[in-house]
Structure 1
């Protein structure tokens, strides 16, 4: 443990307590601490991010399933043939931004306009969000003064010197009506989509640009910011309806800290609803089942679970082995499964390795070695299926029950079938022939056989969201200012507030949520 990252002594009282030192929590704590008069505690269950597997962005896959991952799995269900897909989630300072594939996907215009409509607040709309992106980005790619920012905190660029397969994939996608674009986060995300290089948060070669490294490290040592690692929040405390602080456990010892102004929960779409429920905020019947006194009946807590589905396949063996470069996921496309749709709903990504689920790996002759094969992994950007997160017990250290319900809606299966067809058409094109010895899987499957393959190959894009929905109505959890309904001094700010999941990897929209939350907090307490 690096001592500069660790507040060994915690004060009994802070103005603001930010629960969760992940993508959102790091941003919020930094922005609040920019006011030297405000005292801020950032509390994180994981450890230091100053380790090679985090700092070197090319090593990101080594973190999945290890000590920097919460290790959650979905409950078995018929829609995935009883499988229990892993649901990786960062347990380290920086959260997902410290262990993910570094992809910066800003989302589609319609995502934010839909959020604004749900919240009844134009501050969440696309034009307002563009202002946040312009302010925080230091974009190294093709200039676009309206959409892209330069000089901000976050270095965003395109992968340098991608593998030779990537230009061939762009050519093949363009030939079937998915045009190659200079910037996949530019005008393409205001319209029909396109294909191109993923934007990545890296600098100085392959050094990861995480929210911990960017927002928190430069502020360590400031007298008004304490960062406490390896400390798990177990409950929010209240004085009447007002959140008064938190209880947490560190090294087996229980502690309590008070918040003079607000508690902000940024634990991610699995642990945020878990903490709210442990604190008596949730569906009354669920809480009573575990002997938890209801403080506020909010049936939406834990519901509306959404995640992008990522399929482990379509895979081709290389003619000549090609080691992965950059983040090993340099190519992406956005397209519609049905031309009548308003927004692109497909988001496949290139995995520059053989990539198979546990079932598919048993059923197919998958090449060995990271450089032996490449996978164009079908992805679903706008799933209709919804799941939920439930408490397993009142024990704060028990993993929650996550019913992901992937592919439960027939419309999602229909979209994934179309996505597999598109990926196979691109991968089997003449222009990609120099890069393929054989198609490893799925081959020319149809009907029920293809649907069965999809159920056996489907997993997560690591983009859990939606379980503390922003909006109005009975199942909303927070309002447009991210305040938890029925309480005072308590907000949620992370991907769990998304009314509908963003089109694309969720790190960038989560940073936007956090930046907006910090603006709202500072305005409320100036």
Structure 2
């Protein structure tokens, strides 16, 4: 018997491949829109614009295909870190982390981070979106409108919850399938210390003080369902969408103060392509500020150090860098328990202080040991699990600096994790809560004992924290959407002071959202496309 679905998939793949081969063989001199990077936001923007058959869209992606088992098999996500699918950025040495340099992974290829991450779908807290609306001066960024968008774009596979979840959208979201017993133990442990559990983590749980739940995942039929696969891949056979991989964006080209094209490197040649309507930068929180700076948009002193002519002074380009920082606490298993799916199936958000009305701590259970480069020396159990917990709302802020006028040179990332003393206070509370959870009665059938940190106090605890700190790879906020002197884009994501240029990625967040960032980046892409379509009558 012929498998119709397999036959249809094969036919589509052939059409899409042949169509893209034709479209990329001879690029047009000019497109209506040029979108830079096929990540969590760029994939959304390009798809939504290309839904109008009269609009010609070019999508430039520096990386390559997502057709790799390391991408598609949820269990293999760690193998992408440090691979050709990772930009492999590195932060500068940080005195607040005992001089350590942390790797800052970011997806490179179709799907961007959504093709190499842990596949968790976390919408952010009500307070995040209401803050965005307040800072932007636009109520449509607020939680109520964003909730409507989430319901529209989801294809929710869990128990029906029409108040919060949608069906029929492009994004296949399902609860982690057949979770590990230690995932359920985390929910039981949370209840033992007074933290409520919820049917899913993307509804009522993220409107108040937080709670615990089995994670929502972008996994379909046991395979990764990245935002590229959700939005963009189904459109690859369309004649008005050109997706060019291996295309490294150098800078935006201007005619006066209007963006009219993009200069990029492809197949060893520097090429310029025009945009008759707009250019959208969706390059992420490190590459977007870099391209802005090389285009003459940024702090005039920073540009002047490298002889880059200033087109628009915007002091906030590359400032306000934020990320979620984690401090792994690990337990040794009584008996080996093999990780399931992605190895991260339960999540928890809670408060470091009772007086807070929203969570400031983020917990993702990982079903294997996750030491840092330093804490590995303390002894890692052969079998165990990690409470990958950290700061959902860090107070510390970093910045990016150019190291050269050469667009191929890397940026200096001064992440400055734990530079604000408030973060150390919050982290101590975070570690204490980790230990209370992991040592709760619910885990006793599954663990032999706590491997690290143990009952550390004072300077010994602070040393552990600084040695244990790693990042969730949620880099954001370096081209923020606000109305102050350090803002880079307005409420419509247009870059201040120039025309024809928008930013749509995690860099526009005024503050990092509470939780994993790919779902909020999808919202940023949806909002950008909606505003572009409205302005140009598409």
For Structure 1 versus Structure 2, the TM-score category normalised by the shorter chain is over 0.9
Shift of 1:3: 4.6
For the 8 Å contact 2:172–2:230, the answer to whether it is kept is no
1:464 to 475, 481, 503: 475
Whether 1:84 aligns to 2:84 is no
Whether 1:98 aligns to 2:115 is yes
Which residue of structure 1 lines up, in the alignment, with residue 9 of structure 2? none
Q: Mapping of 1:366-385 within 5 angstroms?
A: 366-368=380-382, 372-385=383-396
Whether 1:365 aligns to 2:382 is no
2:257 to 230, 238, 241: 241
Distance 1:3 1:133 in 2: 31
2:190 to 168, 173, 179: 173
Distance 1:167 1:286 in 2: 50
SS of the equivalent of 1:248 reads strand
Which residue of structure 1 lines up, in the alignment, with residue 291 of structure 2? 275
Shift of 1:459: 1.1
Which residue of structure 1 lines up, in the alignment, with residue 317 of structure 2? 301
* CA-based RMSD: 1.2
Shift of 1:216: 1.2
1:218 to 226, 234, 238: 234
SS of the equivalent of 2:130 reads helix
What stretches of structure 1 of length at least 5 have no aligned partner? none
SS of the equivalent of 2:172 reads strand
1:424-460: CA deviation from partner (whole Å, max 9, x where unpaired) = 1111112211111121110100111111101111011
Which residue of structure 1 lines up, in the alignment, with residue 7 of structure 2? none
Which residue of structure 2 lines up, in the alignment, with residue 288 of structure 1? 304
For the 8 Å contact 2:303–2:309, the answer to whether it is kept is yes
Moved more, 30-39 or 342-351: 342-351
Whether 1:193 aligns to 2:204 is no
For the 8 Å contact 2:192–2:440, the answer to whether it is kept is no
Which residue of structure 1 lines up, in the alignment, with residue 165 of structure 2? 148
TM-score normalized with structure 2 length:
0.95
Distance 1:142 1:446 in 2: 44
Q: Mapping of 1:62-77 within 5 angstroms?
A: 62-77=79-94
1:11 to 19, 28, 49: 28
Shift of 1:174: 1.0
Moved more, 193-202 or 54-63: 54-63
What stretches of structure 2 of length at least 5 have no aligned partner? 1-12
Whether 1:202 aligns to 2:219 is yes
Distance 1:454 1:149 in 2: 40
For the 8 Å contact 1:315–1:442, the answer to whether it is kept is yes
1:89-110: CA deviation from partner (whole Å, max 9, x where unpaired) = 0001110010000000001001
Shift of 1:8: 3.1
Distance 1:79 1:285 in 2: 27
Whether 1:333 aligns to 2:354 is no
SS of the equivalent of 2:474 reads coil
Q: Mapping of 1:12-31 within 5 angstroms?
A: 12-31=29-48
2:496 to 468, 477, 485: 485
Distance 2:434 2:381 in 1: 19
For the 8 Å contact 1:378–1:416, the answer to whether it is kept is no
For the 8 Å contact 1:300–1:476, the answer to whether it is kept is yes
Shift of 1:421: 0.6
For the 8 Å contact 1:102–1:208, the answer to whether it is kept is yes
Shift of 1:221: 2.5
Shift of 1:375: 0.6
For the 8 Å contact 2:54–2:240, the answer to whether it is kept is yes
Q: Which runs of 4+ in 1 moved over 4 A?
A: 1-6
Which residue of structure 1 lines up, in the alignment, with residue 274 of structure 2? 258
Distance 1:10 1:306 in 2: 37
SS of the equivalent of 1:348 reads strand
Distance 2:192 2:448 in 1: 22
1:418 to 411, 426, 429: 429
Distance 2:36 2:439 in 1: 48
Distance 1:452 1:174 in 2: 30
Moved more, 164-173 or 188-197: 164-173
TM-score normalized with structure 1 length:
0.97
Whether 1:125 aligns to 2:139 is no
Distance 1:399 1:338 in 2: 39
